[in-house]
Amino acid sequence: MTRSIWKGPFVEGHLIKKAETVRASGRNDMIKTWSRRSTILPDFVGLNFAVYNGKKFIPVFVTENMIGHKFGEFAPSRTYFGHTAADKKARKGA
Amino acid sequence: MSSSLICVGKILKPHGIKGALKIQSFTEPPMALEGYFPLCNEKETLTFSLRSFCPFNPTKEKEMFLVSLEEVENRTQAEELIGLLLFIQEEKLPALLDEDEFYFHNLIGLQALSKDGNSLGSVIDVQDFGAGALLAVGSKEKSEYIPFRKDYVVSLDLNEKKIVLNPPQFFETGKEVK
């Protein structure tokens, strides 16, 4: 069953506080979080998070496309032992 | 293995009695493998030209293809190729669009240095979990992910196999934002 709209998206309160602190400071600090269940809000766009996957912190730079998804979706907790795509490209983001 | 060879697929098993093969693609998208033929083996002693190429099970196994090769006429010949990795010359990969774009395999193995010149280990892997490319820097036993972004990558020299990084603060100090 989907979450009721009247409740709004779930976000841990302390995560919102940390995001506000970093935004107010104007620095580009990475925000450590263990809250994989928190929804990515529009306020988080442009901030750097480090999401815990049970073993280490995975850097997540929030972009507009991620709004509405959970932080945990971008920090997999299981190791993929398959073959990396041979022709996969990485672009140095801004 | 020659450094200019890139692994793009693997022969899994024969299919039927006419020499058809089930092949796993390591390209993105998987269907792009068709455009890379002819392929060769690791030592470049065998070359495989394409006769026919079709998806094996498009709904469940998107990386698998049923392939007929000019050099394989029957099942006996096909059985000899089980487990064989298929390669192409690096030059056959599509050209990169600009100087900020890199192939994952070019980044792996680079020596990582901090801005001060201290060694951070090497780039042991490159991953993309949906939030941009991440460089796994360190050793095989212990590594940390550093975003492949201009804020964290100071300079990159593929000829000298060196990358200068500016790791996120907490990776070094352990401090977090309060």
Domain span at residue B148? 104-165
Give the CA diameter of chain A. Answer: 46
Average of per-residue pLDDT across A31-40: 96
Regarding whether B10 and B84 lie in a shared domain, the answer is yes
Are B129 and A18 in contact (CB < 8 Å)? no
B97 within some domain: no
Separation between Cα atoms, residue B113 and residue B103, nearest integer Å: 20
Regarding whether B54 and B20 lie in a shared domain, the answer is yes
pLDDT at residue number B40: 92
Regarding whether B19 and B83 lie in a shared domain, the answer is yes
Regarding whether B151 and B73 lie in a shared domain, the answer is no
Degrees, nearest 5: CA angle A15-A19-A22: 140
Are A58 and B94 in contact (CB < 8 Å)? no
pLDDT of B71 strictly over 70: yes
Are B26 and A84 in contact (CB < 8 Å)? yes
User: By the CB < 8 Å criterion, does A40 face chain B?
Assistant: no
For B115-163, what is each residue's pLDDT tens digit?
A: 888 889 999 999 999 988 999 998 888 888 999 998 899 999 999 999 9
- Please, are residues B6 and B13 in contact by the beta-carbon 8 Å criterion? no
Regarding whether B110 and B88 lie in a shared domain, the answer is no
Regarding whether B150 and B88 lie in a shared domain, the answer is no
Nearest CA in chain B to A17: B178
B12 within some domain: yes
3-state secondary structure of B46: coil
Q: DSSP for chain A?
A: -PPPGGG-----HHHHHHHHHHHHHT---EEEE--TTPBPPGGGTT-EEEEE-SSSEEEEE--GGGTTSBGGGGS-SS---SPPPTT-EEE-B-
Strand-by-strand arrangement of the A57-61 sheet:
A30-33, A48-52, A57-61
Regarding whether B137 and B78 lie in a shared domain, the answer is no
- Number of separate domains in chain B: 2
B119 within some domain: yes
Average of per-residue pLDDT across B18-34: 91
Last-in-domain residue among B71, B92, B113 = B92
Q: What percent of chain B is helix, strand and coil (3-state, nearest 5)?
A: 15, 45, 40
Both tokens assigned to B137: 């820097």
Q: Where are the beta strands (DSSP E) in B4-142?
A: 5-15, 20-25, 39-40, 47-48, 50-57, 61-69, 85-89, 101-103, 111-114, 119-128, 133-138
pTM for the model stands at 0.83
- Which of these, A66, A71, A27, lies nearest to A50 by C-alpha position? A71
User: By the CB < 8 Å criterion, does A60 face chain B?
Assistant: yes
B175 within some domain: no
pLDDT of A63 strictly over 90: yes
CATH number at residue B63: 2.40.30.60
pLDDT at residue number B112: 93
Nearest CA in chain B to A89: B103
- Which of these, B14, B11, B40, lies nearest to B26 by C-alpha position? B11
User: By the CB < 8 Å criterion, does A67 face chain B?
Assistant: no
Last-in-domain residue among B35, B65, B92 = B92
CATH number at residue B151: 2.30.30.240
Banded model confidence at residue B109, pLDDT cuts 50, 70, 90: very high
B11 within some domain: yes
pLDDT of B174 strictly over 70: no
Place of tokens 């998987």: B30
B98 within some domain: no
- Please, are residues B34 and B69 in contact by the beta-carbon 8 Å criterion? no
pLDDT of B177 strictly over 50: no
Backbone angles phi, psi at B59, to 5 degrees: -85, -35
